[in-house]
């Protein structure tokens, strides 16, 4: 499997847009607002999100975040985000990492690699410990986080909140 991460760019095109149409607007707690956008709205969204990664154009409640695509060969198959820091609300109810795979790519082991690559990216961004919020009913993702060193620190109405204290980058 040749899988790799690629940062969002305002020049991303139709192949990324089509991936985002395969992911529900609320996919196991992962928000994908682009699922309801036309292509022109998507292009504007790319530009805004590129700015978000630089800490620009953030609403008062937001934190900088970088969006990544998981690619298999030359095809995007997943959508992930890394928040550079957590505010009080995110610290209680969510985490640094969120991700979703396009529906045709689920249940094939890609989630393991996607999470591992996002965790490694967090370490490269000096994010430590890494916090992840996972929908309570999302059994696969909960198992993946635990397998990668996640320690359950709290449970909200809808999510289990984990922290990963590993700094060696030895993720599964």
Structure tokens at 90: 């995110």
Give the pLDDT mean for 89-110: 94
Residue 65 lies in a domain: yes
Residue 140 lies in a domain: no
Residue 50 lies in a domain: yes
Residue 58 binned pLDDT confidence (cut-offs 50, 70, 90): very high
Residue 92 in 3-state DSSP?
Answer: helix
Residue 151 lies in a domain: no
Residue 11 in this model has a pLDDT that exceeds 70 = yes
Residue 170 binned pLDDT confidence (cut-offs 50, 70, 90): low
Residue 172 binned pLDDT confidence (cut-offs 50, 70, 90): low
Q: Which residue's structure tokens are 């059994």?
A: 139
Number of domains, the chain: 1
Residue 134 lies in a domain: no
Give the pLDDT mean for 70-90: 96
Residue 30 binned pLDDT confidence (cut-offs 50, 70, 90): confident
What does the alpha-carbon distance between residue 112 and residue 162 come to, in Å, rounded to a whole number? 16
Residue 102 in this model has a pLDDT that exceeds 70 = yes
Residue 18 in 3-state DSSP?
Answer: helix
Residue 169 binned pLDDT confidence (cut-offs 50, 70, 90): low
Q: Which of 169, 98, 161 has the alpha carbon at shortest distance from 128?
A: 169
Range of the domain at 54: 3-128
Residue 159 lies in a domain: no
Residue 23 lies in a domain: yes
Residue 92 sits in a domain whose CATH number is 3.40.630.30
Q: Which residue's structure tokens are 């993946």?
A: 144
Structure tokens at 147: 């397998």
Give the pLDDT mean for 101-105: 94
Q: Characterize 76-97 residue by residue with b for buried, 16 or more Cβ atoms within 10 angstroms of its Cβ, and e for exposed.
A: bbbbbbbbbebeeebeeebbbb
Count of CA atoms in the C-beta half-sphere (13 A) of 15? 14
Task: Look over the chain and give the mean of its residue pLDDT values, rounded to a whole number.
Answer: 93
Residue 148 lies in a domain: no
Kindly tell me the burial class for residue 99, based on how many C-beta atoms sit within 10 Å of its own C-beta (0-12, 13-18, 19 or more).
buried
């Amino acid at each position: 499997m040749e899988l790799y991460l690629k940062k969002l760019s305002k020049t991303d095109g139709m192949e990324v847009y089509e991936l985002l149409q395969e992911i529900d607007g609320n996919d196991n707690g992962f928000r994908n607002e682009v699922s309801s956008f036309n292509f022109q709205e998507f292009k504007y969204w790319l530009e805004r999100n590129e700015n978000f990664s630089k800490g620009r154009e953030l609403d008062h409640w937001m934190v900088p975040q970088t969006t990544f695509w998981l690619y298999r060969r030359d095809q995007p198959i997943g959508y992930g985000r890394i928040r550079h820091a957590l505010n009080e609300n995110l610290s209680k109810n969510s985490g640094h990492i969120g991700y979703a795979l396009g529906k045709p790519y689920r249940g094939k082991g890609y989630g393991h690699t996607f999470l591992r690559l996002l965790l490694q990216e967090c370490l490269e961004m000096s994010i430590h410990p890494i916090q992840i919020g996972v929908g309570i009913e999302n059994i696969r993702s909960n198992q993946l986080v635990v397998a990668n060193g996640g320690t359950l620190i709290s449970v909200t109405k809808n999510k289990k909140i984990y922290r990963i204290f590993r700094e060696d980058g030895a993720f599964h």
